[in-house]
Amino acid sequence: MGRYIFGRIGYMLITFLVIATFTFFLMQTLPGSPFNDERLSESQKERLYERYGLDEPAPIQYVKYMTNIFKGDFGVSFQYDGRAVTDIIGERIGASAVLGAQSLLFGCIIGIILGIIAAIKHNTAIDYMAMLIAVIGLSVPNFVFAGLLQYWVGVKLQWLPVAFWEGFEYSILPTIALSVFVIATIARFMRTEMLEVLGQDYIVTAKAKGLNQFAIVMKHGLRNAAIPIITILGPMTVSLLTGTLVIEKIFSVPGLGEQFVKSIMTNDFPVIMGVTLFYSILFIGVVLIVDILYGVIDPRIRLSGGTK
Amino acid sequence: MEKILEVNNLQVSFDTYAGEVKAVRGVSFHLNKGETLAIVGESGSGKSVTSKSLMKLIPNPPGRIVNGEILFEGKDLVHYSEKQMQKIRGSEISMIFQDPMTSLNPTMTIGKQIMESIIKHQNVSKTEARRKGIELLEMVGIPQAENRFSSYPHQFSGGMRQRVVIAMAISCNPKILIADEPTTALDVTIQAQILELLKDLQKKMGTSIIFITHDLGVVANIADRVAVMYAGKIVEIGKVDEIFYHPEHPYTWGLLGAMPNLNEDAGELITIPGSPPDLLNPPLGDAFADRNRYAMKIDYQMEPPMFKVSDTHYASTWLLHEKSPKIMLPDVLKKHRQTAPRGKQNEHLAKRKEQREKLLEIKNLKQYFTSGTNLIKAVDGIDFDIYKGETFGLVGESGCGKSTTGRTIIRLYHATDGEILYNNVNIHNKKSSLDTQKLNQKIQMIFQDPYSSLNPRQTVADIIAEGMDIHGLSINRKERLEKVYDLLETVGLNREHANRYPHEFSGGQRQRIGIARALAVDPEFIIADEPISALDVSIQAQVVNLLKRLQKEKGLTYLFIAHDLSMVKYISDRIGVMYKGRIVELAESNELYQNPLHPYTKSLLSAIPLPDPETEKTRKRIKFDEKLIWNDEGEEPVLREVKPEHWVSCTEQEYNDFKNYFDVI
Rounded CA gap, B95 and B265, in Å?
Answer: 39
Average pLDDT value for residue range B606-631: 76
Q: How far apart are CA A191 and CA A211, in angstroms?
A: 21
Domain count, chain A: 2
* Strand ordering across the sheet containing B391-395: B443-446, B525-529, B557-562, B391-395, B574-579, B582-588, B646-650, B638-643
State residue A307's pLDDT score: 35
Q: Considering CB atoms only, which of A205, A210, A223 is closest to B120?
A: A210
pLDDT at B353: 60
Instruction: Say if residue B385's pLDDT is above 70.
Output: yes
**Which residues from B are below 8 Å from A223, CB to CB?**
107-108
Q: For A202-219, what is each residue's pLDDT tens digit?
A: 999 999 999 998 999 998
Confidence of residue B94 (pLDDT cuts 50, 70, 90): very high
Averaged pLDDT for residues A85-102? 87
Lowest mean pLDDT among B102-116, B393-407, B612-626: B612-626
| Residue A292 is assigned to a structural domain of this protein | no
Task: Say whether both A106 and A151 belong to one domain.
Answer: yes
Task: List domains and CATH numbers for chain B.
Answer: 3-92+175-332 (3.40.50.300), 104-173 (no CATH), 345-572 (3.40.50.300)
Q: In this predicted model, which residue has the larger pLDDT, B71 or B338?
A: B71
Q: Are residues A68 and A117 in the same domain?
A: no
Do A103 and A31 reside in the same domain of the chain?
no
- Cis omega (within 30 of 0) on the bond before B637? no
Do residues A167 and A208 both lie within one domain?
A: yes
Comparing B567 with B165, the larger pLDDT belongs to B165
pLDDT of B529 > 80? The answer is yes
The burial of B220, by beta-carbon neighbours within 10 Å (0-12 exposed, 13-18 middle, 19 or more buried), is given as buried
Q: What pLDDT band is residue A6 in, cutting at 50, 70 and 90?
A: confident
Q: A279 in a domain, yes or no?
A: no
Domain co-membership, A225 together with A141: yes
A7 touches chain B (CB under 8 A): no
Cβ-contact B184, B55 below 8 angstroms? no
Q: Is there a domain that residue A276 lies in? A: no
Q: Which residue has the higher pLDDT, B566 or B237?
A: B237
CB B164 within 8 A of CB B140: yes
Q: What residue of B is the nearest CA neighbor of A220?
A: B105
How close, in Å, is residue A230 to chain B by CA atoms?
15
Closest Cα in chain A, distance from residue B86 (Å):
4
CA A173 – CA A176 distance, rounded (Å): 5
What distance in Å separates the CA atoms of residue B41 and residue B251, rounded to the nearest whole number? Answer: 10
- Searching chain B, which residue's CA lies closest to the CA of residue A197? B105
Is the pLDDT at B269 greater than 80, yes or no?
no
Average pLDDT over residues A70-91: 84
Q: Which residue has the higher pLDDT, A123 or B587?
A: B587
Given this model, what pLDDT does residue A268 score? 84
User: Is B57 close to A224, i.e. CB distance below 8 A?
Assistant: no
Cβ neighbours of A205 in B, within 8 Å: 95, 97, 103-105, 165, 168
B412: Cβ–Cβ under 8 A, 6 or more apart, which residues?
none
**ipTM rounded to 2 decimals:** 0.80
CB contact under 8 A, A208 and B95: yes
Other CB atoms within a 10 A radius of the CB of residue B482 amount to 13
A-chain CB neighbours of B86 within 8 Å are 210-212
State yes or no: pLDDT of B634 exceeds 70.
no
Domain termination residue (choose one: A41, A64, A82): A82
On the question of pLDDT at A188 being above 70, the answer is: yes
Do A257 and A121 share a domain, yes or no? yes
Judged by average pLDDT, the poorest of B345-354, B372-381, B581-590 is B345-354
Q: In B, which residues are within 8 Å of A195 by CB distance?
A: none
Residue B341 binned pLDDT confidence (cut-offs 50, 70, 90): very low
Residue A291 lies in a domain: no
Reported residue count of chain A is 308
- What value does the mean pLDDT take over residues B36-50? 90
Is the Cβ of A36 closer than 8 Å to some Cβ of chain B? no
A58 and A137 assigned to the same domain: no
User: Do residue A212 and residue B95 have CB atoms under 8 angstroms apart?
Assistant: no
Q: Is A87 within a domain?
A: no
Q: Calculate mean pLDDT across residues A167-172.
A: 87
Interface touch A206/B106, C-beta < 8 Å = no
Mean predicted lDDT score pLDDT of chain B: 86
**Is residue B517 within 8 Å of residue B464, measured between CB atoms?**
yes
Q: Indicate whether A125 pLDDT > 80.
A: yes
Query: Which domain covers residue A11, as residue numbers?
Result: 2-82
Instruction: Specify whether A131 is located in the same domain as A49.
Output: no
Examine the domain organization and report whether A61 and A118 are in the same domain: no
A101 and A203 co-located in one domain: yes
- Segment A230-252 shows an average pLDDT of 81
Contact A306 B373 (CB under 8 A): yes
- Whether residues A105 and A250 share a domain: the answer is yes
Residue A161 lies in a domain: yes
| pLDDT at B446 (0 to 100) | 93
pLDDT at residue B616, rounded to an integer: 82
**Does residue B308 carry a pLDDT above 50?**
yes
How many angstroms separate the CA of residue A1 from the nearest CA in chain B?
A: 15
Q: For residue A306, what pLDDT is reported? A: 37
* Residue B514 confidence (pLDDT): 93
**B 193-232 residues with CB < 8 A to A:** none
pLDDT in tens, B441-487: 899 999 988 888 999 999 999 999 998 888 887 778 888 999 999 99
Share of chain B above pLDDT 90, in %: 37
Check whether A287 has a pLDDT greater than 70.
yes
